[in-house]
């Protein structure tokens, strides 16, 4: 049970970090605003602990390569870690 709680806490932390960075960059970058909108349901589910299964298709990959978000390394890393956890993590068990 402790491992499960740590993993859910990690997922929540990753979601909060990603959301915070997206909000920060949204002030000056429309691509960040669009990515925040497209990820908002997943982020909220992760923060609330209601995400029950791994997610196969996480929106946003092209936001970095085609919309210019690669310039924000911290945001790219936060997105990558969040995506990794919700696609491969076992937070839902």
Other Cβ atoms less than 10 A from the Cβ of 13: the count is: 15
Q: Is the pLDDT of residue 82 over 50?
A: yes
Calculate mean pLDDT across residues 13-28: 98
Residues of the chain above pLDDT 70, percent? 90
Question: Nearest Cα to 81, choosing from 17, 12, 14?
Answer: 14
Summarised one tens digit per residue, pLDDT across range 21-40 is 999 999 999 999 999 999 99
Better-predicted residue by pLDDT, 29 or 2: 29
Query: What is the model's pTM?
Result: 0.90
């Amino acid at each position: 049970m402790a491992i499960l709680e740590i993993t859910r806490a990690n997922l929540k932390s990753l979601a909060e970090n990603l959301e915070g960075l997206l909000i920060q960059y949204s002030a000056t970058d429309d691509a960040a605003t669009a990515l925040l909108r497209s990820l908002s349901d997943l982020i909220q589910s992760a923060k609330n602990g209601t995400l029950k299964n791994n997610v196969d298709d996480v929106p946003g990959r092209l936001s970095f390569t085609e919309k210019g978000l690669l310039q924000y390394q911290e945001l790219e890393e936060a997105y990558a870690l969040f995506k990794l956890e919700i696609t491969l993590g076992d937070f839902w068990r």
